[in-house]
Amino acid sequence: MKKQVTLLKEYTKGLWEINPVFKQVLGMCPTLAVTVSAINGIAMALATTFVLVLSSLIISIIRKLIPPQVRIASYIVIIATFVTIADLVMKAQFPELSKSLGPFIPLIVVNCLILGRAEAFASKNTPVRALFDSLGNGTGFLIVLFIIGSIREILGSGTILGFHIMPLTFEPWLIMILPAGAFLTLGLLMGLANFYVDHKKNKERESIIEKFRSSKQLPTIETEA
């Protein structure tokens, strides 16, 4: 039987441990394509989170009704319903934002993050757990998209959320708002994340070895007599 984890843990694991972008490497298309500015990143992540949470919840509730042979198709129908809602709401309420995000809002339907969580988690867990898991993943996605969007906006246009923050003499790096800038930013951030994880793991390993050594529990190699 699987070890039961607390609901809080179901939420917080999405922030770092199984972060959608850094660890699962899911949802790369919106991560790379729409993070030209911080606001775009936030909007995209919020729309994705909305779809992710509600579709995970529904899928989890009816998980025993869905025949396994047609589960992907069923998931897509459910996801598409919420994507349509998100798309229409954004078109009605934030037409500017909707225009700048272009086809990427409808494309949430095929976002592998949502399908991935549905298949890997929501279809196997209770609705409450699915809710916390999807909220955590959505928040993790939001944080990363905001970071990437901010970096690209600051260096590529000299602004953040539309406010000028760089000195006037700063010449924007056009490459950062081009696709190449997205790949560079994501690659460097992911490299930093892995570097940090490795660093921490090494420290832990060393401290464990040190502990064993000081308590003399490690067998010392004896020379043959």
* Alpha-carbon span 206 to 184, nearest angstrom: 33
- 222 DSSP 8-state letter: P
Q: Which is nearer to another protein, 160 or 175 (CB)?
A: 175
Q: Should residue 32 be labelled a site residue for another protein when binding is judged by CB under 8 A?
A: no
Q: Which residues, 6 or more positions from 124, have their beta carbon under 8 angstroms from its beta carbon?
A: 63
Q: With contacts defined by CB under 8 A, name the span among 5-13, 45-53, 121-129, 166-174 that binds another protein.
A: 166-174
Contact string (CB under 8 A) for another protein, positions 168-187, x = contact: ---x-xxxx-x-x---x---
Element (H, E) at 99: helix 95-101
Smallest distance from another protein to CB 175, Å: 4
SS (H, E, C) 131-165: HHHHHHHHHHHHHHHHHHHHHHHHHHHCEECCEEC
Q: Should residue 158 be labelled a site residue for another protein when binding is judged by CB under 8 A?
A: no
Q: What share of the chain is helix, strand, coil (3-state, %, to 5)?
A: 70, 0, 25
Smallest distance from another protein to CB 104, Å: 23
Q: Should residue 120 be labelled a site residue for another protein when binding is judged by CB under 8 A?
A: no
Q: Should residue 224 be labelled a site residue for another protein when binding is judged by CB under 8 A?
A: no
Whether residue 113 contacts residue 27, with contact meaning beta carbons closer than 8 Å, is answered with yes
**Using the rule CB under 8 A, which residue among 126, 191, 207, 210 binds another protein?**
191
Smallest distance from another protein to CB 221, Å: 25
